[in-house]
Structure 1
Amino acid sequence: MQPRKLHGLITTATPDSSEYDRKPENCLVVVEREVPDLSGAQLLVKVRATAINRADIMQRHGRYPPPPGETDILGLECAGEIVEVGPGCKRDWKRGDRVMALVGGGGYADLCVVEEACTIHIPENWTFEQAAAVPEAWLTASQLLMFVAQTKPGDWVLIHAGASGVGLAAVQIATKVVGAKAICTAGSQEKLNACIARGASEALNYKDADGAFSERVLQITEGHGVDVILDCIGGSMYEQNAKCLAIDARWVIYGTLGGTKVPSFDLRVLMSKRASMLASTLRNRDLSYKASLIKNLEQYIMPRFVSKECEPVIAKVFYSLESVPEAHRFVESNANIGKVVVSLTDETSSL
């Protein structure tokens, strides 16, 4: 019997590659690999849709290698149909079940091995594209709010990049699941409107007043400040974030789109507010931690998807693996409101 094959996208770029060689059309290539044998509680999924994440773009640049043991094929999430169930699986999966999954790599492929513990049934009447927009963004947002920051009902939450995939998930989780109040920042009126439509109390254009949003945040909160900051920007917003802190605030850094360096860092700012500065990632967490995030999502968020109280927001759908370079360029342009999804429903595999 001939080995089964899968086809997926890898990057040829390295940390030393030129800007030209890091462009998606120049470094993303399709490779053919043997489908690995399933071990333990794993599932083989025929991928019908995947989604683009900033981490994928960093990996494409050669600056975010996969964790040890993970495939070098890009993609941190997928949605599709089960084609094989591993010997150690405990749930009643069967061939043809529609699932979405968080993966450490391999989502940009026609077939993907996923861990049972990181797999969720797709709600009835959902498309594969809707499902692909959920795992990375909604698990990241719920992790930051519910696990790391320990957000409480009534807390004020400041969410930067509020119209991103994670941002719009965080707005909905904060306001509709936790019972907190959200303030978002974004860079256009259309993005601000999207934040308000998903539950934010206020949305501020970070480009206004030379980026000095802290005064407006303090006005909105009547001098209280924010109890939680979800910060994917980093260095460029440090000073304004610091001015927004409430007493006992939790400042969670999960990205550095605005730089990794802070010119002047005064520890007294944190001490005076008894504030905690926290940092978090998801991809390199262990399986048991990811499984706890999945269970939390199934318990608190999936019912709100079914009731339509919450929804994954899709900015644009691209079609086929060959369209991934274009999808990367779209995300890098910062034009998206919500997730950018790649549909593989017309793809064929050697299965």
Structure 2
Amino acid sequence: MTTTMRAIDIKGGTGPATSLFVNNLPKPEPAAGEALVKIEAFGLNRMDLLQREGMYPVPPQAPSTLGVEFSGIVERLGDGDCLDFKVGDEVFGLAYGGAYAEYISCSVQTLLHKPAELSWIEAAGIPETWFTAAQAMYLVGQFEPGKSILWHAGASAVSISGIQLSKADNASNIYVTASSQEKIDFCVNKLGATAGYNYKTQDWAAELKKATNGRGVDVIIDFIGASYFQSNLDAAALDGHIVNLAFLGGTKLPAGVDISLFLRKRLRYEGSSLRSRDTSYQKRLRDILLDHMPKFQDGSFKVYVEKVFPFEKIADAHLLMESNQTKGKIICTVGEE
């Protein structure tokens, strides 16, 4: 049995997409409660770009290799409780890192059995985005059936997942913002959102207030940060929850921001992350997804894939993600040389 594997490495430790290359690295060993998985495919996420450039706070337990979501076959199990997993099982899951490789070792707490109805590519595109959407909606945003919800960056992979979860779990209305009419049409016509607003050409907060007769939205999932801060407060309903997951619009608030709405509307604005959470927290999200697995199996939930690259074309995959022109997931397949 070999002790090394092919994995994506970064020349100099950090750098641009062109610094990514295939290297031979030590093959991981499964610790207690872990499964060693031979990877068939892995998904890209925006955090990978930041980590590649040395701008992401990597958890201490994470290996240096990029990648947090994958699909593959269990090759070996560590000691201890490995739930119902066994060697040979087809699985997909979430890890703290190390998915840009031929093999990964990760906790069984964040693994799921891959349904036969899902391809390796589809399964690899589920964990990070669907876990994140579930976390933002349920554990942080406290979404309940009958509430309305707004997903910013509507055509992003997380929001694509979240819109489908919102529809399945009976949101009263599902709103999105996006950068083009094409993306809005995709969210409304393909995913089932109620309405969408082009943030480049519309005052989306004002339009939302009109659409809701001044009431606003119960749950807002935000990736933008500072440049949407005031508008989120304006668009939120009484007792609304605003969940912040990223800062694509900056971290410094402009002068003149009116925070009186926090009191007047009894708002909660809460930031959250997933990768820094312990495995018991992540297992709660895994279990939410497990409850929804029949919808993946019957086709109600769809994994939208923008493009698939071979393992060796990882630099091209990163460049595509950097272009901000995608709808859905970018996936890499891991084949033999």
Specify the TM-score bucket, using the shorter chain as the normaliser.
Answer: over 0.9
2:310 matched residue in structure 1: 319
Choose the corresponding residue for 1:289, options 262, 281, 290.
281
Q: Which residue matches 1:250? A: 241
Matched residues in 2 for 1:186 and 1:9: separation? 32
User: How high is the TM-score relative to the length of structure 2?
Assistant: 0.95
The SS at the match of 1:191 is helix
- C-alpha change, 1:13 and 1:277, in structure 2 (3 Å) is farther
Residue pairs, 1:1-351, within 5 angstroms = 4-12=3-11, 22-25=15-18, 27-196=19-188, 197-209=190-202, 212-264=203-255, 265-299=257-291, 301-320=292-311, 322-344=312-334, 346-347=335-336
SS at match of 1:281: coil
Counterparts of 1:37 and 1:327 in 2: how far apart (Å)? 28
CA deviation digits over 1:286-328, x for unaligned, max 9?
Answer: 01101111111101x21211122111111111112x2111111
* Runs (5+) with no aligned partner, structure 1: none
Q: What root-mean-square deviation, in Å, do the aligned CA atoms of Structure 1 and Structure 2 show?
A: 1.6
Q: Is the 8 A contact 1:253 1:280 kept in 2?
A: yes
Gaps of 5+ in 2: none
| Offset at residue 4 of structure 1 (A) | 1.3
Q: Describe the SS at the equivalent of 1:267.
A: coil
Secondary structure, in 3 states, of the residue corresponding to 2:169? helix
Please give the alpha-carbon distance, in whole angstroms, between the structure 2 residues aligned to 1:338 and 1:295: 23
1:178, distance to aligned residue in structure 2 (A):
4.6
The Cα of 1:180 is off from its aligned counterpart by: 4.0
Instruction: Measure how far apart 1:59 and its partner are.
Output: 0.2
SS in structure 2 opposite 1:324?
A: helix
Preserved contact between residue 28 and residue 103 of structure 2 (Cα < 8 Å): no
Q: Distance in 1 between matches of 2:77 and 2:265?
A: 51
How far off its partner does 1:206 sit?
Answer: 0.9
In structure 1, what residue type is equivalent to 2:336? E
Q: Is the contact between residue 118 and residue 297 of structure 2 (CA under 8 Å) also seen in structure 1?
A: no
The total of aligned residue pairs comes to 335
User: For the structure 1 residues 178 and 60, does the alpha-carbon distance in structure 2 shift closer, same or farther, using more than 3 Å as the test?
Assistant: farther
Percent pairwise identity:
34
Which range moved further: 216-225 or 128-137? 216-225
Q: Distance in 2 between matches of 1:146 and 1:13?
A: 40
CA distance in structure 1 between the aligned counterparts of 2:85 and 2:26, rounded to whole angstroms: 23
Q: Write the letter of the residue equivalent to 1:110.
A: E
Secondary structure at 2:247 match in 1: coil
1:329 deviates by: 1.0
Structure 2 letter corresponding to 1:334: N
Contact 1:51–1:78, Cα closer than 8 Å, also in 2: yes
TM-aligned CA deviation for residue 13 of structure 1: 5.9
Normalising by structure 1, we get a TM-score of 0.91
